[in-house]
Amino acid sequence: MTPFVALILSAGALLMAPVGLRRIEARIGPRMVHRLGLPALVLGVILVELVLVLMATPVWAGLFRLDLLAHICERVLAHLGLLSPSPVGWAASVAAAVLPLRAAWAWRAGRRELQTARALLAIARPTTFRGRRVFVLDLPERLAMAVPGPGGGVLVTEGLLRALHPCELDVVVAHEVAHLDARDHRRLMALRSLEVAFGLSYPMGRSIRYALERAADEAACGPEGGRRRLAAAALCRTVGLGAGTVAFLAPAATVAARVRALARPAVVPSAWAVRGTVLGVGAVVVGGLGSVGAWIGHAHQALVVAVCAL
């Protein structure tokens, strides 16, 4: 197996890890899904970017009239079995430059949205609901969000207060508090940056977003059946009737799956399943890093041969 094939296989396995982890959520718990899935997805995208950069290097060297460097890079890539036609090299060079730029743009957009959400707290009415500090915004939409940061808290609208029973509202507020305690806004912003930069990661990101929401559901409801039914009812009222958003940066696309999960008993992770999953994901990560190391070793040998042949 060539280093290129090994790197592609490792990147593909890491990119698909969140989808596989979601399938065994009942055994490992939703929190373990996003704790393992998001780092695997990030590393997979980094490996894809590395492949694009390696394919684009001869094009960039030729573009800046570094003919000797371009020739050496072509010899190195040929030795690695990665020499590509000119159109493919140009496409890889464009993609390698665009991916980090789009990721940075999405991160800045997320920061601006976070600042907007914090600005809403300044015009909201602070109150206390069952011992928790809540900010009420005078809007008819049914909306609740967790606003992180200094002075942050749970923001709800008047429309939501009118639509939900106090017991249902208590579960919704507990759900948002769970997001704040876990600092999920950072994971959601990183996830959106990956999705914007690398569109093929969206299905995997949806699994991580679902796991984040499920973890907050479990933290808010616990094993008590009554609170789980209240959470399911609140989800249907809040999202199904038009809110569209339950938590900061989290869309309502996974609501039906969350309601079905709340109808089942609380997840009790299996210790053996968790250990086996950690070992499995760790093996994939080690394989990816090992393929990068093998690629670097082959590239060094090829570079020496290319320089000596000049």
pLDDT tens for each residue of 288-300 = 788 777 766 766 6
CA distances 300 to 72, 170, 197, 295, Å, are 11, 61, 30, 9
Q: State the number of CA atoms in the 13 A half-sphere of 234 facing the CB.
A: 31
Quick check: 243 pLDDT over 60? no
- As a whole number of angstroms, the distance between CA 264 and CA 51 comes to 43
The first and second tokens of residue 240, run together, are: 């199904």
To the nearest whole percent, how much of the chain has pLDDT over 70?
A: 79
Note the pLDDT of residue 249.
38
Q: What is the mean pLDDT of the chain?
A: 81
**How confident is the model over 100-127, as pLDDT tens digits?**
999 999 999 988 988 888 888 888 888 8
User: How far apart, in whole angstroms, are the C-alpha atoms of residue 178 and residue 157?
Assistant: 19
Q: Where are the domains of the chain?
A: 3-309
Per-residue pLDDT tens for 255-290? 778 888 888 888 888 889 999 999 998 888 888 788
Residue 107 structure tokens: 């991160």
Q: What is the pLDDT of residues 31-80, one digit of tens each?
A: 999 999 999 999 999 888 887 877 777 776 666 666 666 666 666 666 55
SS3 at position 65: coil
Count the residues in the chain. Answer: 310
Q: 132 forms bridges with which residues in the sheet?
A: 129
Q: Provide the β-strand partners of residue 127.
A: 134
Q: What is the value of pTM for the model shown?
A: 0.84
What's the pLDDT score for residue 302?
Answer: 62
Q: Please report the pLDDT score of residue 151 as a whole number.
A: 77
Alpha-carbon dihedral angle through residues 216, 218, 224, 229, given to the nearest 10 degrees: 70
pLDDT at 75: 64
Residues 182/144, Cβ–Cβ less than 8 Å: no
